[in-house]
Structure formats: C-alpha cells, structure tokens
Amino acid sequence: MQMLTVLFLCTGNSCRSQMAEGWAQHLKGDAIEAYSAGVATHGINPNAVAAMGEAGVDITPQYSKHVDELADVEFDYVVTVCDNAAESCPVFRGNAKVVHQPFDDPPRLAREA
C-alpha cells in the first residue's frame, strides 16, 4: 500500500502544525508521510515540544519550515489548521485535496487561562 502524504499548514509552523505532524507520525506513521509547514516561519514553540513530550510524542527533530521549502513534494492532502493559513494557502502540485480544520492557538489559550 502506498503511503499518503499529508501536509499540516499553519501561520508560523511553530505549534499547531508541528503538533499535528507529530501526532500523525506517532499514530499512523506506517500509513502517512506527514509534513508540517507555515506560510511564515516563527521557530518551533518550546511549549509544544514539552506538551508533546508529556504525551509521549517526541517532536524535537522537527523544525519550523516555510511552505515553499516543500514545493517539490506532491501531497495527497493539505490540512490547514488555522484561518490565516487557509486564506494564504498556496496552490500545490498534483491533486492535493485541501481540508480546513482550524484549531485554537495553544499559546493564545495559555495566555488567556
């Protein structure tokens, strides 16, 4: 069976998309080749690394990437995880199906707690 290629796209590739990539690899790494990127790069949020580590998912090898760095990858699915990424979502090679699944911004939620 051919692996699905999935891109999780957010604004800065710092938290939501990084966590989604980590969960996809952790839960379905045998069936999904997961990537994450942003329409900008803000560096990976250390709290995302810590939270995922507490859940048993190691995302320390991941790093913040701009979506243009993945221009040569042909994705089956692109999942936008915030409204900004959905509005700024570029056109991808091939027949990528774009799915918008917004999630609250964890750093903002923490500040408001």
Buried-state track 73-109, b at ≥16 Cβ within 10 A, e below 16: eebbbbbbbbebbbeebeebeeebeeeeeeeebbeee
Burial classification of residue 4, based on how many CB atoms lie within 10 Å of its CB (0-12 exposed, 13-18 middle, 19 or more buried) = middle
Active-site residue among 6, 10, 24, 49? Answer: 10
pLDDT in tens, 55-67: 999 999 999 999 9
111: pLDDT confidence band, cut at 50, 70 and 90?
low
pLDDT in tens, 77-89: 999 998 877 777 7
Query: CA-to-CA distance for 4 and 18, rounded, in angstroms?
Result: 18
Active-site residue among 57, 73, 89, 98? Answer: 89
Residue 15 annotated as catalytic = no
Residue 105 in this model has a pLDDT that exceeds 80: no
Q: Are residues 71 and 49 in contact, defined by beta-carbon separation less than 8 angstroms?
A: no
Domains of the chain: 4-112 (3.40.50.2300)
Q: What is the pLDDT of residue 110?
A: 60
Between 112 and 110, where is the model more confident?
112
